[in-house]
Amino acid sequence: MKPKTRIAGIIIQDGKILMKDKIIIYTDGAARKNPGPAGWGVVLINGKSVFEFGGASKHATNNQMELMAPIEALKYLHKNRLNMPIEIFSDSKYVILGITEWIFNWQKKNWRNAAKKPVLNKELWEELYKLTQRFKIKWIYVEGHNDNKYNDRADEIATNFADGIKIKLRKEK
């Protein structure tokens, strides 16, 4: 029997999840000058464990970073074979409505929006949609800058990455 491994607060032994629960993810994106220097942030919570990560782009829009955050969170879960119920919180109605409602019509209409124009960020939407097919996800809108400590933290991570400021991130224990 192999030793137990802990990834983002989830206990794994012999490739099987021992601690079954749900994973809660808060995501946010930020761009300066929109487009401009940009960043995204993720706060991943499982039980009492909190794991944070983020990234930056030299030139991107806010919406692109809002999409990158859940994409990177789901890539992380997939890479680490963490497949359990997920709740993703975002303060971006663009992300929430896009992935839960609009995307189905975009796909039917050959990636055209209601105004019959090409959908912006199509490649990111396709990547996010593909990743969502591997998980059971509940998407939840949370109002931004409204004293939600995890949403505020995801925002802080994203804005620090956008500003090129080093930020201390909580890693696995």
CATH number attached to the domain at 23-29+45-163 = 3.30.420.10
C-alpha distance from residue 99 to each of 38, 46, 73 (Å):
22, 23, 15
* Pairing, β 23-31 against β 36-46: antiparallel
pLDDT of residue 173: 47
19: its two tokens: 């601690």
Spatial distance between the Cα atoms of 146 and 166, rounded to a whole number of angstroms: 24
Q: Write out the chain's pLDDT in tens, 173 residues.
A: 666 666 655 555 565 545 557 999 999 999 999 999 999 999 999 888 899 999 999 999 999 999 999 999 999 999 988 888 999 999 999 999 999 999 999 999 999 999 999 999 999 999 999 999 999 999 999 999 899 999 999 999 999 999 999 999 998 64
Residue 48 exposure: Cα atoms within 13 Å on the Cβ side: 1
C-alpha distance from residue 27 to each of 22, 36, 63 (Å):
16, 19, 12
Q: Which residues are the active-site residues? A: 28-29, 66, 91, 145, 155
Would you kindly state where each structural domain of the chain is located, as residue ranges?
Answer: 23-29+45-163
Alpha-carbon radius of gyration of the chain: 16
pLDDT of residue 171: 86
DSSP-derived secondary structure letter, 92: -
111: its two tokens: 């990636």
